[in-house]
Amino acid sequence: MSGAIELAAQVIDRVLAGHNALEHYHALRAAHPVTEPGAWGRVRDLSWSALRDYGWGRWVLARLAPRGVPEPVLAPLLVALSALRDGPRDAHALTHQSVSCVRARQERLAGFANALLRTFLREREALHPEALAEAARASAAVPAVGPEEQDVAVAHFRHPRWWIDKVRAQHPLDWEGVLHAGNTHPPMGLRLNRRRIDEAGALARFAEAGIAVRHVGPMALLLERPMPVAKVPGIAEGWVSPQDVGAQFAARLLAPVDGERVLDACAAPGGKSAHLLELADIELTAVDVEESRLVPLRRALARLNVSASVLRGDARHPARWWDGRPFDAILADVPCSGSGVARRHPDIKWLRRAEDVTGFARQQHEILEGLWPLLKPGGRLLYATCSIFAEENEEQVRAFVKRHRDARPVPLGDGRETLGLLPDETHDGFFYALLRKTA
């Protein structure tokens, strides 16, 4: 266990230095081959839980160590506090192993870590995030004062204060539920390949395997308990693919038709491209800006035995890669803050800054301007993000329609011109708007 705590702490160290958690996790796996069953799953669980709990962990440390925590032991203590938060049966063993991890990093701080963790265990109920709910709501209702690590709203809601304030202002009826969802484990959705299996056949296969699933949408299933992708029935055969249920709206809303020429403009890692090819016999061009991101895209298409023209290119500058032939339909799944998928990538909450949202909105503006001339008259463009922030969603679309008289919003579902999905127990957070080119 102490080895898992140290490896998880190394992931946290890298995030605190401003780096991506998943990239470092994979680098650690490559550098430290471990053969014990479930060992790396344990490391990931410890890391991701500590990142979800980061705002609370810093608040606890500020309470228990008001003079500050030495930097070498900050990450191990954050991992330990998160693991101890709900009072596991092996709490004392876990404390001992965490202290051993600290001792290996800096021996003179082992006593400090031991005393702090044992104090936490005695006071755990009063320091638990749920015990802070009333004070957190009161704090969130007024402007923040003082350092963020002392803000009880950050501790309870476990999001940065600027994020809490933005969600509260933009989703006044749902803000607490949205923040709560951001701290949960993400659901595992599956997309059925209708070319190879129907819903009844898939449900029968899962029942035979003893795996509980729910039918939650057209060709969409939700696992009751997430599991390793490789163990999902039908993955190797290509009749099922892992994809969040909310992300599956993209291809269905664009609704490709046989014979159409379609562009997936920000295509990696390939789930939406594959879905488009499952829905219709189309001529698909899949583009992404980084060559490294095209590797999983090609892999996704190969697994399903479908083909597309895969190009490296920047959607903001199509003249560098476009062949001049207009498209019938374009999917613009643009780069964004990722605020709708923060529970899946919990480092996002702490790596993002408020000003980053403005930067993403500027990039989205440039992508829309770059792609619109590629669409033929009568064609349609689906604008998509995995954000819940209005600057990247409704405001972006309204501004685009105002600039382009030949852009007409197409009603989605119940007549609304946009579709915003807030994260819940079924799906992550997404935004969609379908635009038709009138001339």
Positions annotated as catalytic residues are 386
Which residues fall within 8 angstroms of residue 375, CB to CB, at 6 or more apart? 326, 327, 329, 330, 381, 437
Cβ neighbours of residue 48 under 8 Å, at least 6 residues apart? 21, 346
Reduce the DSSP state of residue 31 to 3 states and report it.
helix
Residue corresponding to tokens 């800054």:
353
Q: Which residues pair with 261 in a beta bridge?
A: 283
CA 157/CA 393 separation, integer angstroms: 23
Beta strands in 96-183 (DSSP E): none
Sheet holding 220-223, edge to edge: 213-217, 220-223, 189-192, 240-242
- Give the C-alpha separation, 51 to 22, whole Å: 12
Among all chains, which residue has been given the structure tokens 């709490």? 91
Write down the H helix ranges in 53-106.
54-64, 71-84, 91-105
**Residue in the structure block whose two tokens are 């819903």:** 199
CA distance 269 to 26: 17
Please give the Cα distance from 12 to 48 (Å, whole number).
9
User: In whole angstroms, what is the distance from residue 125 CA to residue 129 CA?
Assistant: 9
Give the amino acid at 100: S
* Rounded Cα gap, residues 275 and 342, in angstroms: 23
